[in-house]
Amino acid sequence: MIAGTISLVFAAIGVVLPLIPTTPFLLLAVACYCRSSERLYTWLINNRWFGDYIRNYREGRGIPLKTKVVAVTFLWATISVSILFLVPILIVQVLLLVIAIVVSLHILRLPTYKKNVP
């Protein structure tokens, strides 16, 4: 429950601060709540602010393009800083690079959700 709540806080911050991606933190919160609290899980998937994000992902509609762009940009910015300035061990740098590539491919392969515009 604690990990889910922390993830939900980051997701809420991501709604107003474009540097933090909302959807991945919401999905993590849902996964945590699903395993720890049926009440919190139900509340989150029916929440008026976050419920749409979660339902769109769960129903295969995907995530918005803006979310994809912000998530991949933030991922590469943080991985780059880590590799260039924080991690001096080559094998760890390579591992971080592989993780960034795999996560980027996963995000980019997700369907892009487009709101129905009349």
In a domain, 118, yes or no: no
Instruction: Give yes or no for residue 88 having a pLDDT over 90.
Output: yes
**HEC readout, the chain:** CHHHHHHHHHHHHHHHCCCCCHHHHHHHHHHHHHHHCHHHHHHHHCCCCCHHHHHHHHCCCCEEHHHHHHHHHHHHHHHHHHHHHHCCCHHHHHHHHHHHHHHHHHHHHCCEECCCCC
Residues 54 and 102 in one domain: no
**pLDDT attached to residue 3:** 93
**pLDDT attached to residue 93:** 95
**Percentage of the chain exceeding pLDDT 90:** 42
Residues 38 and 80 in one domain: no
Domain with 104 in it: 65-113
Residues 10 and 57 in one domain: yes
Instruction: Give yes or no for residue 46 having a pLDDT over 60.
Output: yes
Residues 51 and 14 in one domain: yes
What confidence tens digit (pLDDT) does each residue in 16-44 have?
A: 765 667 777 888 899 999 999 999 999 99
What's the chain's average pLDDT? 86
Instruction: Give yes or no for residue 15 having a pLDDT over 70.
Output: yes
Average pLDDT over residues 56-70: 84
Residues 6 and 58 in one domain: yes
Instruction: Round to whole Å and give the CA distance between 105 and 117.
Output: 28
Task: Answer for the pair 15, 49: CB distance below 8 angstroms, yes or no.
Answer: yes
**pLDDT attached to residue 66:** 84
